[in-house]
Amino acid sequence: MKIGILGTRGIPNQYGGFEQFAEYLAPGLVARGHEVWVYNSSTHPYKESSWQGVNIIHCYDPENKIGTAGQFVYDFNCIRDARLREFDVVLQLGYTSSSVWGPWLPENAVVFTNMDGLEWKRSKYNKLVQKYLIRAEEWAIKTSDVLIADSLGIRDYLQDTYHKHSEFIAYGAEPLEKKNPEVLNQWQLSADDYYLLVARMEPENHIEVILDGYMQSGVERPFVVIGRTENTYGKRLVEKYAKAPRVKFLGAIYDMDALNQLRHYCSLYFHGHSVGGTNPSLLEAMACETLIVAHNNPFNRAVLEEDGLYFDDAEGVCNWIREVRSGEMDEKKARNLEKIKTQYRWEQIIDRYEQVFIKHLERLRS
């Protein structure tokens, strides 16, 4: 198959969820004998024409010059190029700014769209933007041949709201094979002596709620926050906790081994995401055998089941910090790791995408 992957800023990953997803999926499909192209923003630091056997197409992206509108220009440039490539499969990762160009998607390719989370529920967007995102969701559904849901909750939502079938394919993760506590030295951290949160700085990730609960606990153990803080919300958090030296903002970390060592050796891992499907950072924490305190919502419960600790507010965060002792609930860590091995390994996810592509290509072209 000749496969084009759109909807990311590009690979290798320098940004986040869908970029990391493409970083695993694209080489995995190449290893199975397929030709794969990934679209990269012109602002991406990687400038070569291929990466691990994946063809890279660099498209002009003016987002750094004109702001959010640049995303729409970049998506249009990618779709316009895709029309010339004679792809068998076009995989769109998300729809936020690309769905307006849906009618221009390649006519001869089978278009698959990963519907991501419920974008219009994100509190960072005002009412006008949320209305647009609902329309964008509708447009994406209308102009896609096949919908992909990365969680059962999203699958049910698409069925209940639009009466549309979607293929359930989760995100992936890999168990941490080599433990190395010496990695912590660069941040002056000690094993099992800090709390951790990895997230984009957005209100719906409940970072402020988690940090408020931590401050209420009065515990001396440091709290490490990983994620870019350049946006308005991130800057406000840094300013709010500037006088709390135990709260350490480390910025973004894209070295996966270092990030996974930080996950593995933390006392508690806090996951505040409340919008979307199977969140990548949650699976990665499970794969690192860490005890997870997650925001209480159906998406997180669908993945963790009874093997997470749940909070609704700052008081709930505070209570878990005060109550959980080192070494407790190791069986939850073990069961979560087993879920990764049996349900969420990247090999299984890549196999599933390949099977779904082949199935629908045969169906729609027969």
232 and 283 share one domain: yes
Spatial CA neighbour of 235 closest among 192, 204, 202: 202
What is the chain's length?
Answer: 366
One domain for residues 329 and 357: no
Higher pLDDT, 316 or 122: 316
Q: Looking at the structure, do residues 295 and 192 belong to the same domain, yes or no?
A: yes
Q: What's the pLDDT score for residue 128?
A: 86
Q: Are both 305 and 295 inside the same structural domain?
A: yes
pLDDT at 96 over 70: yes
- Domain co-membership, 83 together with 19: yes
Encode 108-124 in three state secondary structure: CCEEEEECCCCHHHCCC
pLDDT at 118: 65
21: left (phi over 0), alpha (psi -120 to 50) or beta: alpha
Q: How buried is residue 185: exposed, middle or buried, by Cβ count under 10 Å (0-12/13-18/19+)?
A: exposed
Q: 43 burial class (0-12, 13-18, 19+ CB within 10 angstroms)? A: middle
Same domain, 314 and 206: yes
Question: Could you tell me which residues come within 8 angstroms of residue 264 by beta carbon, excluding any fewer than 6 positions away?
Answer: 176, 179, 288, 289, 290
- pLDDT at residue 276 greater than cutoff 70: no
Other beta carbons less than 10 A from residue 116's beta carbon? 23
3-class DSSP assignment, residue 2: strand
User: Look-up: residue for tokens 């000749």?
Assistant: 2
> Is 33 in the same domain as 82?
yes
For the chain, the C-alpha Rg in angstroms (whole number) is 21
Query: At what angle are helices 330-339 and 280-287 packed, to 10 degrees?
Result: 120
In the chain, the DSSP E strands lie at 2-6, 35-41, 50-51, 54-59, 89-93, 110-114, 146-149, 166-168, 195-198, 223-226, 247-251, 268-271, 292-295, 309-311
Same domain as 20, residue 83: yes
For residue 96, give the CATH number of its domain: 3.40.50.2000
Q: Which residue do the tokens 């087993």 mark?
A: 338
Percent of the chain with pLDDT over 90: 80
Q: Are 277 and 289 members of one domain?
A: yes
pLDDT above 70 as % of the chain: 96
Same domain, 147 and 211: no
248 burial class (0-12, 13-18, 19+ CB within 10 angstroms)? middle
Mean pLDDT of 345-361: 96
pLDDT of the residue at 298: 85
- What's the average model confidence in pLDDT over 43-53? 96
Same domain (yes/no): 95, 7: yes
pLDDT one-digit tens code per residue, 16-44? 778 989 999 999 999 999 999 999 999 99
- 3-state SS track over 128-151: HHHHHHHHHHHHHHHHCCEEEECC
Domain region containing 153: 2-172+345-365
Domain count, the chain: 2
- DSSP state string for 281-306: HHHHHHHTT--EEEE-SHHHHHHHGG
Q: How far lies 287's CA from each of 125, 188, 254, 292, in Å?
A: 32, 24, 17, 11
112/186 same-domain check: no
14-18, 100-104, 136-140, 271-275: the lowest-pLDDT one? 14-18
Helix, strand, coil share of the chain (percent; to 5):
45, 15, 35
Residues 312, 310: Cα–Cα separation, whole Å? 7
Mean pLDDT along residues 63-86 = 94
The tens digit of pLDDT for each residue in 290-346 reads: 999 999 998 899 899 999 999 999 999 999 999 998 677 899 999 999 999 999 999
Contact between 267 and 239 (Cβ < 8 Å): no
Which residues, other chains included, contact 76 with Cβ-Cβ below 8 Å and sequence gap of 6+?
A: 101, 104
Q: Name the average pLDDT for the chain.
A: 93
Q: How far apart are CA 41 and CA 8, in angstroms?
A: 8
pLDDT of residue 222: 98
Average pLDDT over every residue of 138-161: 92
Instruction: Report the distance separating Cα 190 and Cα 192, nearest Å.
Output: 6
The 10s digit of each residue's pLDDT in 216-272 is 999 999 999 999 999 999 999 999 999 999 999 999 998 889 999 999 999 999 999
Q: How many CB atoms lie within 10 A of CB 7?
A: 24
Q: What is the pLDDT of residues 156-176, one digit of tens each?
A: 989 999 999 999 999 999 999
